């Protein structure tokens, strides 16, 4: 870093997707001087999202109508044998234009006098330094050196900021195409199969007869994707375009460090049941904003302070829910074809669709789980499953008590 001019800011945010842009927006009316580093020249590109989000999004942010492309009224869940159940209720998720969502707060932030964006610039590394007796963070990018009091990594599942702090997320790899089709315009499909058991195959109706079709898996994603398309009778050569992506998998990672915090995919703030994380990261961003303001107000950037005012509030709110999502996912991964058949039969014959309709929640499933456990057949099913899979039961207890 020596021998190069250093630019001075109070806060450096790495990553200008919805996580970095929304957090920066929450701080835009403060007197904190902020720089945002984004490796891509165009915000929101490349497009890497299935783009289906719960309607809570409209409660968390002011959502322009043009960002919502469609609403989903029914979820069709297909088991490995091809049998299915359909669920519908008060939850009508949004299918969004993810590129426009990423750009929404960038447009608002550009006019703020305390915010600077450097696009097409890659974060390389950082180290701690001291100036005038004050600790700081020295950041090296592909174009400049930056000195800041605080650094925030919003740089995705492969977080470069996190790597310097020995943070490593478990990952899934996704493949998706957009294609014209004749599926149901208001129905999202989830296709479970042993080859992509860490998540599912999906069909998301974008609107105007355009569908987003994809899968996510821990390995052999290209092979699995072609198998999935073949099952659906889709010729990949008819695609409009194609996307790939990486999804963090598991529970929330460590996110508080000396002068540094991680937000969004970088912190593993993603639901293991669906691979979605926007509602979670928007909630976490509000905790991050409060923490940043307090840190500058009290001139305290210690790990202990950031953990107290950011990581712990996140763990109390979204952290518990993310654990529950992971527990559900681990159970789903280990269901056999026969288990799926038995559970679908229980759902169909015991009016459980009605319970899911009333209490189903894409983001916070705790109430639904408790209601289902009160059903004797569901409880018995889980007991038998636990007896057949004693190791997973122990693992689940460890996750929930961690």
Q: What is the dihedral of CA 124, 127, 130, 134, to 10 degrees?
A: 90
- The phi and psi torsions of 127 (rounded to 5 degrees) equal -145, 160
At the topology level of CATH, where does 6-45+99-168+254-317 sit? FAD/NAD(P)-binding domain (3.50.50)
Q: What pLDDT does residue 368 have? A: 81
CA distances from residue 327 to 217, 333, 367 in whole angstroms, order as listed: 17, 10, 15
CA distances from residue 25 to 19, 59, 97, 276 in whole angstroms, order as listed: 10, 17, 20, 22
The span from the CA of 327 to the CA of 320, in Å, is 11
The span from the CA of 124 to the CA of 140, in Å, is 5
Q: Which residues contact 191 (CB under 8 A, 6 or more apart)?
A: 78, 200, 201, 202, 203, 215, 228, 231
The span from the CA of 185 to the CA of 166, in Å, is 44
Residue extents of the structural domains in the chain = 6-45+99-168+254-317, 52-94+170-249, 323-401
Question: What tens-digit pLDDT sequence spans the chain (402 residues)?
Answer: 455 789 999 999 999 999 999 999 999 999 999 999 999 999 998 887 878 999 899 999 999 999 999 999 999 999 999 999 888 877 789 999 999 999 999 999 999 999 999 999 999 999 999 988 889 999 999 999 999 999 999 999 999 999 999 999 999 999 999 999 999 999 999 999 999 999 999 999 999 999 999 999 999 999 999 999 999 999 999 999 999 999 999 999 999 999 999 999 999 999 999 999 999 999 999 999 999 999 999 999 999 999 999 999 999 999 999 999 998 999 999 999 999 999 999 888 877 777 777 667 778 888 888 888 888 888 899 888 888 888 877 777 776 666
What are the structure tokens assigned to 304, written together?
């202990």
- The phi and psi torsions of 23 (rounded to 5 degrees) equal -60, -45
The span from the CA of 95 to the CA of 115, in Å, is 30
For the chain, how long is the longest CA-to-CA vector?
73
CATH number for 52-94+170-249 (one of 3.40.50.2020, 3.30.420.40, 3.30.9.10, 3.20.20.140): it is 3.30.9.10
Report pTM.
0.93
- Whether 6-45+99-168+254-317 and 52-94+170-249 share one fold: the answer is no
Q: What pLDDT does residue 9 have? A: 98
Give the count of beta carbons closer than 10 Å to the beta carbon of residue 178: 18
The answer to whether the beta carbons of residues 339 and 385 sit under 8 Å apart is yes
Q: What pLDDT does residue 3 have? A: 56
Give the count of beta carbons closer than 10 Å to the beta carbon of residue 291: 24
């Amino acid at each position: 870093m020596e021998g190069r001019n250093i630019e001075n800011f109070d806060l450096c945010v790495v990553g200008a997707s919805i996580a970095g842009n929304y957090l920066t927006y929450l701080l835009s009316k403060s007197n904190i001087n902020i720089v945002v580093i984004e490796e891509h020249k165009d915000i929101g590109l490349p497009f890497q999202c299935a783009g289906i989000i719960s309607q809570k999004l409209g409660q968390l942010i002011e959502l322009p109508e043009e960002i919502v492309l469609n609403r989903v009224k029914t979820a069709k869940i297909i088991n490995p044998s091809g049998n299915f159940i359909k669920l519908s209720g008060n939850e009508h998720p949004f299918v969004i234009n993810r590129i426009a969502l990423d750009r929404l707060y960038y447009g608002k932030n550009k006019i703020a006098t305390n915010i600077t964006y450097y696009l097409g610039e890659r974060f390389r590394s950082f180290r701690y330094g001291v100036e005038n007796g004050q600790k700081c963070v020295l950041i090296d990018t592909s174009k400049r050196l930056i000195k800041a009091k605080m650094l925030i990594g919003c740089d995705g599942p492969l977080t470069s900021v996190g790597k310097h702090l020995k943070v490593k997320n478990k990952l899934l790899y996704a493949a998706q195409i957009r294609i014209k089709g004749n599926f149901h315009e208001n129905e999202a499909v989830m296709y479970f199969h042993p080859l992509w058991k860490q998540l599912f195959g999906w069909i998301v109706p974008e609107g105007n007869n355009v569908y987003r079709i994809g899968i996510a898996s821990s390995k052999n994603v290209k092979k699995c994707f072609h198998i999935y398309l073949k099952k659906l009778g889709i010729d990949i050569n008819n695609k409009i375009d194609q996307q790939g992506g990486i999804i963090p998998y598991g529970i929330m990672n460590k996110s508080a460090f000396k002068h540094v915090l991680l937000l969004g995919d970088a912190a593993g703030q993603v639901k293991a049941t669906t691979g979605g994380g926007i509602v979670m990261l928007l909630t976490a961003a509000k905790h991050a904003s409060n923490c940043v303001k307090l840190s500058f107000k009290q001139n305290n950037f210690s790990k202990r302070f950031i953990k107290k005012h950011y990581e712990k509030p996140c763990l109390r709110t979204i952290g518990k829910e993310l654990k529950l999502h992971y527990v559900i996912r681990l159970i789903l991964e280990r269901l056999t074809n026969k288990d799926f058949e038995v559970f679908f039969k229980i759902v169909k014959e015991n009016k459980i669709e009605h319970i899911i309709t009333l209490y189903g929640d894409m983001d916070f499933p705790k109430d639904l789980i408790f209601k289902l456990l009160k059903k004797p057949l569901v409880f018995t099913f889980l007991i038998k499953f636990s007896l057949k899979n004693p190791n997973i039961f122990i693992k689940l207890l460890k996750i929930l008590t961690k």
